[in-house]
Amino acid sequence: MSAAITRAEVEAVYPRVANAVAQALARDPAEVSLNSRLFADLEAESIDLLDIVFRLEREFKIQIPRGRIIEDARGDLSEAEFENNGVLTAAGLARLRDYLSEVPADNFRPRMNIADVPTLFTVETMCKMVVRAMRAAGA
C-alpha cells in the first residue's frame, strides 16, 4: 500500500486539473471547486469523463489506464470479494469508500453497480488520480 496522498500533493496539481475539467465541460474555472461532483454538479456524462482523463494525460504527460480507479480500490480483494456480477459487495463498497475518501460517505449506496461508480467522482478524485499516476511514473 503506497503512502497516503497529502493535501499538498493534491493542491499542487489542482489548478491544472480544475482547468482541464472546466475546459472539458465548458465551465468557467470559477465554477469548479475541489469538491465539485463531475456528474451531479458539473453535468458531465460518460463521454465527458473520457475527455477529462485524456486532457489530464496530456496536461501531465501521464498514463491513466481505463478502469484504474476500480482496480486500485479493489486492491488485494479478489473480484468475487469485491463485486458480484457488476454489483459491489459490502466489502467492495467499504474498499471504495476508503479509496474515494474525498467523496461524502452518504453518497455511497449499498449494492451499487460498478457502472455507476463514476457518478461519485469529484474534482479531487481526478487530482488524486493524477498524483498516483505521477508517482507511478516516478515523477
Partner 1 sequence: MRRRVAITGIGLVTPLGNSTADSWRALLEGRSGIAPITSFDPSGYPVQIAAEVRNFQPALDGSRRKLLKFASRHVQFALAAAQQAIEDAGVRPDPRSASRWACVAGSGMMGVAFEELAQIQRRLAPHGDFRGELMFKPGGPAPDPVAYGRNQANAGIALLVQCFGIKGYAGAIHTACASGGQAVGLALRLIRRGSADFALAGGFDSMINPIGLASFCLLGALSTDNDAPAQASRPFDLTRNGFVLGEGAGFMVLEEWQAARRRGARIYAELAGDGNSLSSYRVTDSHPSGDGPIQAMRRALEDAGADPAEVGYINAHGTSTIMNDRSECAAIRAVFGAASRVKVSSTKSLMGHLIAGAGAVEAAIGALVIHHGRLPVNANLNHPDPQCDLNFVREAEPPHRVRVAMSNSFGFGGSNSCLVLRHREDAGE
Partner 2 sequence: MSEAVVITAAGAICALGADPGAILAALRAGRTAFAPLREWDSSTWPAPLAACADQLDAAAIFSDRKLLKSVQRLRRTDLLGLYAASRAIAASGMIEYRAALDGAQAAAFNENTAVFTGCGGVAYHYQYDFLPAMAAADGDIGVFGRQLGASVNPTWLLQALPNNVLCYLGIAYGFKGPNFCVTNHSVSGTTAIIEAFHSLRGGDAPRAVAVGHDAPIEPETILNLYHLGLLTSESVRPFDAARSGCLLGEGAAAMVLETASAAAQRGAAVLGTILGTGVATEAAGVLAIRPDGDGEARAIEMALEEAGVEPGAISLIAAHGNGTVNSDLSEAAAIRQVFGAVIPPVTSFKWALGHTMAAAGALDAVIALGCVRTALAPGIATLRDPDPRCLPLPVSAAATPLRGKIALVLGRGFGGMNTALVIQAPAEDCDE
Closer to partner 1 by CB, 58 or 139: give it: 58
Give the residues across from 37 on adjacent strands: 122
Q: Of partner 1, partner 2, none, which one sits near residue 31, judging by CB under 5 to 8 A according to partner kind?
A: none
Binder among 46, 63, 111, 139 for partner 1 (CB under 8 A): 46
Quick note: the x/- pattern for partner 2 over 32-71, rule CB under 8 A, is -----------x---xx-xx-xx--xx----x--------
Nearest to 112 by CA among 83, 81, 72: 83
Q: Give the total of residues touching partner 2 (CB under 8 A).
A: 15
What is the identity of the amino acid at 106? D
Residue 32: exposure state from Cβ atoms within 10 A (0-12, 13-18, ≥19): buried
Rounded Cα distance, 12 and 22, in Å: 17
Retrieve residue 56's grid coordinates: 489530464
Residue 27 CB, nearest distance to partner 2 (Å)? Answer: 8
Using the minimum distance from each CB to partner 1, give the nearer residue, 71 or 98.
71
